[in-house]
Amino acid sequence: MPRSPLPGAHAGAGATVGPASGQGLLVAALEAVDQAVCVADVTAPDEPLVYVNPAFTRTTGYPAADALGRNCRFLQDGLDVGDAPARIRALLRAGASGVVTLPNRRADGAVFSNELSLSPLRDAEGRVTHYVAVQRDVTAQVEAERARDVLRAEQAEIADQLQRTLVPASLPQLAGCRTAVRYSPATRPDGSRGEVSGDVYDVLPRPGGGWYAFIGDVSGRGPRAAATTGVLRWALRGAAAGERRPGPLLREVGGVVRDAMDGRFATLALVALPAADGGVDGGGALEDEVVVALAGHPRPVLLPAEGPPRLVGRHGSLLGLLPEVVVHEERVALRQGDQLVLYTDGVTEAMDASRTMLGEDGLLAALAALPPASRRGPGTAGRTADAVLAAVERHTGGAGSDDLTLLVLARDGDG
């Protein structure tokens, strides 16, 4: 005969008591609540149920007569419950409270997600004699979370596919210069991907010889930003085929893409690299120079083979906001072993827990810390890019980050 830890209780019968009976009042309260409640005797073999309230029957479909005397695992028959039983047993062994969610089967065969809030009952000596389980049907919540996870996975896959169309699969080999790219779209604090990045980069041939290397950032994220980024990249590729100077090239692109920006704006840093058989202007005398032109973009960093790094380039106006784009060209000596570090504002605007940005000073400090030996030899561009990423990671403490892109141009050295 099933026994009850609650004297005077008629399991599942909805007992009524007078106000003088505290025990009876407790039973009446359990019988009246809408949450399913059951009690298991953990001192008896197989820890049978010794009490269930009427809400238990409404939730599971099992009347008290069919549930009492059985271990509650009968609700799990034929279901994949994962490690939930092991977690429940660990709570029982420890005599601890906890919450475990697992699938259960109703009497009619329907499956629901059951959130169990488990609490121990102790006797006068402090020994755990019974466990109380308050049950809650959380099927709608679990299904909503599962649907959200599926949707997030689909969005991440679409974002990845779309992202790949916005940047080159690989960069061309440049005579006398090595490149390294680090491309990291925004991440959430949990490490999952955010929306599609507006960052863009590429290396394009210049008419008459040499190359254009550029990096840019379109405001906002998501499909509209991606569409704008695609327009910007292909406008640059088209205009670069007929314009040899970076300043006029940026001004031409600014006029072409202004309508397509649809209220957004973009920043661009463009570097004209010299031809293999001559200088940046094709005459041979300026073979150690590059030309930097900026349209609202952060200033690149010149990292010499030896000595402190410094910012180069002159600020220009954003693309997409004004009918006229103001761009200044600056010649920068890039000698053997020197590197030029182009980046998006995800680097300098990376924030720590106190909302302090890494800033240009933090970037310069990270590059200055690179010893001369790391600035030479094979792989130098990649080491430099990784050092910047490490500085951002240290500054943010591994929290979620904004879009972040690096393009390092390293002039071959004698080492």
- Give the residues across from 183 on adjacent strands: 405
Measured over the CA atoms of residue 239, residue 244, residue 245 and residue 246, the dihedral's sign is: positive
Q: What is the pLDDT of residue 415?
A: 37
Q: What is the pLDDT of residue 128?
A: 94
Low-confidence residues in the chain, pLDDT < 50: 1-5, 7-20, 282-286, 414-415
SS3 percent helix, strand, coil of the chain, rounded to 5, is: 30, 25, 40
Q: What is the pLDDT of residue 189?
A: 58
Give the span between the Cα atoms of 104 and 90, in whole angstroms. 20
Q: Which of 393, 374, 392 is nearest to 383 (CA)?
A: 374
Residue 403 tokens read as: 């879009």
Superfamily of domain 22-137: PAS domain (3.30.450.20)
- Domains of the chain: which residue ranges? 22-137, 167-411
Q: Are 49 and 36 within 8 A, CB to CB?
A: no
pLDDT in tens, 53-80: 999 999 999 999 999 999 999 999 999 9
Q: CATH fold of 167-411, please?
A: Phosphatase 2c; domain 1 (3.60.40)
Q: What is the pLDDT of residue 15?
A: 34
Task: Judge if 22-137 and 167-411 fold alike in CATH terms.
Answer: no
Q: Are 144 and 28 within 8 A, CB to CB?
A: no
Distances from the Cα of 133 to the Cα of 18, 25, 37, 50, 410, angstroms: 26, 19, 6, 12, 65
Q: What is the pTM of this model?
A: 0.63
Q: Which of 109, 107, 111, 133 is nearest to 120 (CA)?
A: 133
Q: What is the pLDDT of residue 373?
A: 84
Q: Are 159 and 193 within 8 A, CB to CB?
A: yes
